[in-house]
Amino acid sequence: MKIDKVSSFVARLFFAGASVLLIVAVLERIANASGYTILRGTYTAARMLELATILVIFVMALLLRQIREQLKQAK
């Protein structure tokens, strides 16, 4: 498996993970507003958003790397 396919897979995986974390954070915040909890105090909604942001930053870095490689090949 080539590195470009691996990085593409990792980017998709991280983006899916970030999306799941975002959805869980929103649901946790809604549950907290009504007096319930989903995560039982393990992580707050803000922490989940932080983790999702970190994953999205890695996705952006991987995408920028892919763009750079494609521009190098075009020359």
- pLDDT value at 1 more than 80: no
- pLDDT value at 3 more than 90: no
pLDDT in tens, 4-38: 889 999 999 999 999 999 999 999 999 999 999 98
Q: How far apart are the first and last CA of the chain?
A: 24
pLDDT of residue 25: 94
Domain ranges of the chain: 3-74
Cα→Cα distances 16→19, 37, 57, Å: 5, 23, 13
- pLDDT value at 54 more than 80: yes
